[in-house]
Amino acid sequence: MNRKVLAAGAFVLLALGAAFAYRRYAAAVEVDVYQARYGRIEEYVTSVSAGTVKSRRESTLSAEVGGRVSKVLAAEGTAVRKGDRMATLEDPELDRQIDAARADVLSAQEGLREAEARRDEADRRFRADSARAAAHLRQAREEHRRAVELFRGGFLSKSGMEQADTSLVSAEEEAKIAAAGEDAVRAIGREIESLKARVASAGARAASLGDRRAKLRIEAPYAGIVIRKTVDVGEVKTPGAPLFVLADPSDIYIEAPIDESESAKIRIGQKAKLFPDAYLGETFAGIVSEIKPVVEVSKEVSRANTIRVLATAPPKPLRLGMSVDVEVLTGGKDNVLLAPSAAVMEREGRKFVYVAENGKAVRKDVTAGISNWDWTEILKGISSGDPVITSLEIKNLTAGSRVGIRSRR
């Protein structure tokens, strides 16, 4: 009986000891720690949402004249060269007006040619008649002069003198008639000037209508990418209706919203880090090039300031429309005590870290300074060399938990 009691008691003591040992040793969790140390920290302002790659040269191509869309040759995402046809509109009424204007030009030109031919003929006839009349007049005057001398000397009868007078009057009348031919030439000349004006006017109208028809052909003003298309075959477009948005991919920037409360820290020329979603894990360099003067309403925050950042020598291509997270370097401090930002927690308005001390996780309330995604400045609460626990993903890690250090850095 005593042996059984003693055996049972020994078993109980053994079980209790095993349980105690399990709680003391098996319950310890392996953690990673970072030994707090002094170094440099940089302060960043992060965009409230992903920025977007845009082009500094972006144009909305609109219909300058109205018409029905007959061809669409460019789709969204299409690369086009300068002068490439992107769409064609048609306007039958404009075509009829152009045909009529061209017919008017041809008619005016034909009338001008006929008038010039009549003028040339009239001028030739005028010159010939004038020369002949002038010769007759000279001859008549000379004969009349001799007749007067003969008549005065009694060598010519009265009838002979009258005949000489009649010949002179006839020659003078012929000269007047010839001179009137010059007036006819001048009249045709005035008609020609009028016809020239008509040809010019008809030509200008035809050219103007031709220019309008040329505007029915929508062409790329420069090489770029079609980032938006708002036109389809069969649609009727009015003047000014947008058809495409074209952007130059060689001149890009990233546009990103910054919380209004932090926008005062941003300055043109500050360096930035860019994190394109298309290249996960990669960081590009940038520089702030513009800060919009107007605070705008944002879906993410009540107010946001938009900034533009230029990528400096991106190692891989940034394409229009890509999402890019932006961090702007706004300041920094040297020789400050640092802890990993992931290890700094906050509850009920108080920041704290867990420190591994004597095999236990000990909560240390801290006062934090500036911080970024990686590091937080510790102003008060821990000392250089303290092993700050960074394995916060471990479940049930609380103050007093048994811990063992798995790795130290």
**Per-residue pLDDT in tens (0 to 9) along the chain, 409 residues:** 333 433 444 444 444 444 444 444 446 889 999 999 999 999 999 999 999 999 989 899 998 888 999 999 999 988 999 999 999 998 888 888 888 888 888 888 888 888 788 888 877 886 777 788 788 778 878 888 888 888 888 888 888 888 878 888 887 887 787 677 677 778 888 888 888 888 888 889 888 888 888 888 999 999 999 989 999 999 999 999 999 999 998 889 999 999 988 888 999 999 999 999 999 999 999 999 999 988 887 565 568 899 999 999 889 989 888 999 999 999 999 999 999 999 999 999 999 999 999 999 999 999 999 998 899 999 999 999 999 999 877 777 888 899 999 888 8
Other Cβ atoms less than 10 A from the Cβ of 203: the count is 16
> Dihedral sign, CA of 30, 36, 39, 43?
positive
For the 58-89+216-247 domain, the top CATH level (class) is mainly beta
Which amino acid does the sequence have at 123?
D
Listing DSSP states for 214-251 in one string gives HTTEEE-SSSEEEEEE---TT-EE-TT-EEEEEE-TTS
> What pLDDT, on a 0 to 100 scale, did the predictor assign at position 186?
82
Residue the block writes with tokens 């916060």:
392
Nearest-CA neighbor of 195 among 123, 119, 126? Answer: 119
DSSP state of 281: T
Q: Is 386 helix (H, G, I), strand (E, B) or coil?
A: coil
DSSP 8-class letter at 381:
S
Report the C-alpha gap between 151 and 128 in whole angstroms.
34
For residue 291 the two structure tokens come to 């800060």
Cα 197 to chain center, whole Å? Answer: 44
| Site of tokens 């960074």 | 390
What does CATH list as the number for 29-54+251-408?
A: 2.40.30.170
- Note the pLDDT of residue 229: 94
